[in-house]
Chain A
Amino acid sequence: MTEADFDYLCTFVRARSGLALTPEKRYLLESRLQPLARTRGFETLAALVRALQAGGNGELEQAVVEAMTTNETFFFRDKTPFETLRNDIMPRLLEARAGSRSLRIWCAAASTGQEPYSLAMMLDQMGERLAGWRVEILGTDISTQALERARAGLYSQFEVQRGLPIQLLVRYFTQVGDQWQIAPQLRERVIFRPFNLLHDFSPLGTFDVVFCRNVLLYFDMALKADILARLGRQIAPDGCLFLGAAETVIGLGDEVEMHPTLRGVYVPRRRGATRAA
């Protein structure tokens, strides 16, 4: 691949998804796009680049972006955020929303669905405490292929063995051939829709809890700060944001700040408040 084609693809992917590809990611770009070029009938990666440059092929453009996204996820990933949500955040939110009996949760990089379904299982296990409540779980992702899998709720034997306690597998899944499908009542609890984090969040409304884990790490500093600022405006004043274990808000603006006591939890900065020294 020529430097010019590499630069073009980097700019293209970044403009459409925000993914920042540095020169050392050249191998990644080639290994992801070579197979796509072949299946689309292009003899070389350069031919695929020419097709993108010619424009007018939205489906190919989306396929290129999807090929570059990372869909790594598993049930109850990192465990702690789910325990923190159940033990520390939910009791407070249930009290604060006792009047409306309504909660909204957004998984901003839902991938193939394991994160929102983990939340749905966790909420289902809260049983009576949520009886009569309307809890909306929205799962969005840029990858329509990943979302198709998420909607189907079908997982391989390997996928259901990563992070999912066996008791929950028995309780919430049925075997379909050599795969496992999550129960219809949990599938109904999660709404999946394609969404690009570069776009305006305001049509999505306000959320009480946002999971945006292990996605900002693929973006450059300016975009991370921009997304955090916009996320901060979509979270209820007493709501919260969960980031990935290796992610931080330090040096990324001041719309959200670390929760004073809960690790990995971030809260919108109070409007008009000043940062503590």
Chain B
Amino acid sequence: MKHCLVVDDSAVIRKVARRILEALAFEVSEAEDGAQALDRCRLSMPEAVLLDWNMPVMDGYEFLKALRQLPGGDRPKVIFCTTENDVAHIAKALQAGADEYIMKPFDKDIVEAKFQEVGLV
């Protein structure tokens, strides 16, 4: 079973994402901010990270840059999932090593399409 780490400071978003991803046969774990997510990745590298941008402690962008420096940190497919819905943010995310980008609000079809796009569904 593939493992996806959902990183979002909103418990509601984490719950919705968990439901969608579990229906797509992912094992899901959660983190509330980038720092917590980085700790989880150090322990066990997931196949995918669904990543919010704006979070307390460490935001998604800083997390992504740090993740890509970790041993094996180039492997997870990182899909941003954020309300930062402008070209500048998307370009910045791609430059930092994001694989896909979901603009909130999202639905099951979009999540499935994006995970298909990165080859995990």
Q: Write the residues of chain A forming the contact surface with B, with a CB cutoff of 8 angstroms.
A: 157-158, 161-163, 165-167, 169-170, 174-175
Give the chain B neighbours of A165 by CB distance below 8 A: 100, 117
B110 touches which one: A161, A167, A170, A174 (CB < 8 A)?
A: A161
- The reply to whether B106 and A161 form a contact with Cβ atoms under 8 Å apart is yes
Chain A residues near B102: list those with CB within 8 A: 161
Instruction: Please tell me if B61 contacts chain A, counting CB pairs below 8 Å.
Output: no
Q: Among B86, B87, B94, B103, point to the contact of A161 (Cβ < 8 A).
A: B103
A163 touches B113 (CB 8 A): yes
Task: For the complex, give the distance between the alpha carbons of A81 and B55 in Å.
Answer: 40
Residues of chain B contacted by A157 (CB below 8 angstroms): 85, 103
A-B contact pairs, 16 of them (CB 8 A): A157-B103, A158-B107, A158-B110, A161-B113, A161-B114, A162-B110, A163-B113, A165-B117, A166-B94, A166-B98, A166-B101, A169-B90, A170-B90, A170-B91, A174-B87, A175-B87
Interface residue range, chain B: 10 to 19
Whole-angstrom distance between the Cβ of A79 and the nearest chain B Cβ: 8
In the complex, residue of chain A having the shortest beta-carbon distance to the beta carbon of B80: A166
Which residues of A have CB within 8 Å of B107?
Answer: 158
Chain B residues whose CB sits within 8 angstroms of the CB of A162 once the complex forms: 109-110, 113
- Which A residue sits closest to B85, measured CB to CB? A157
A185 to chain B minimum Cβ distance, whole angstroms, is: 17
Whether the pair A170, B117 counts as a contact (CB closer than 8 A) is: no
Residues of B close to A166: CB separation below 8 A: 90, 94, 98, 100-101, 117
CA distance in complex: A163, B114 (Å): 8
A261→B91 CA distance, assembly (Å): 40
User: How close is B93's CB to chain A, nearest CB, in angstroms?
Assistant: 8
B86 adjacent to A175 (CB under 8 Å): yes
A170 B109 Cβ-Cβ under 8 A: no
Closest A residue to B117 by beta carbon equals A165
CB <8 Å contact, A167 and B103: no
CA distance A158 to B100 in the complex (A): 15
Known: A158-B107, A161-B102, A161-B103. Contact between A167 and B94, CB under 8 A? yes
Kindly state the separation between the CA atoms of A170 and B92 in the bound complex, as whole angstroms: 11
B111 nearest CB across to chain A (Å): 9
Could you tell me the distance between the alpha carbons of A161 and B110 in the complex, rounded to whole angstroms?
Answer: 6
**Whole-angstrom distance between the Cβ of A240 and the nearest chain B Cβ:** 25
What is the chain A residue whose CB lies nearest that of B106?
A161
Chain B's closest residue to A165 (CB) is B117
Docked complex Cα distance between A163 and B100 (Å): 12
B17 to chain A, nearest CB (A): 15
How far, in whole Å, are A225 and B22 apart by their CA atoms in the complex? Answer: 43
Given contacts A157-B103, A165-B100, A167-B94, 14 further A-B contacts (CB under 8 A): A157-B85, A158-B110, A161-B102, A161-B106, A162-B109, A162-B110, A162-B113, A166-B90, A166-B100, A166-B117, A169-B90, A170-B91, A170-B94, A175-B86
A166 to B94, CA, bound (A): 9
Q: What residues of A have a CB within 8 angstroms of the CB of B106 in the complex?
A: 161
Q: How far is the CA of A169 from the CA of B91 in the complex (A)?
A: 10
Across-interface contacts of B117 in A (CB, < 8 A)? 165-166
User: Which residues of chain B are within 8 angstroms of A169 by Cβ–Cβ distance?
Assistant: 90
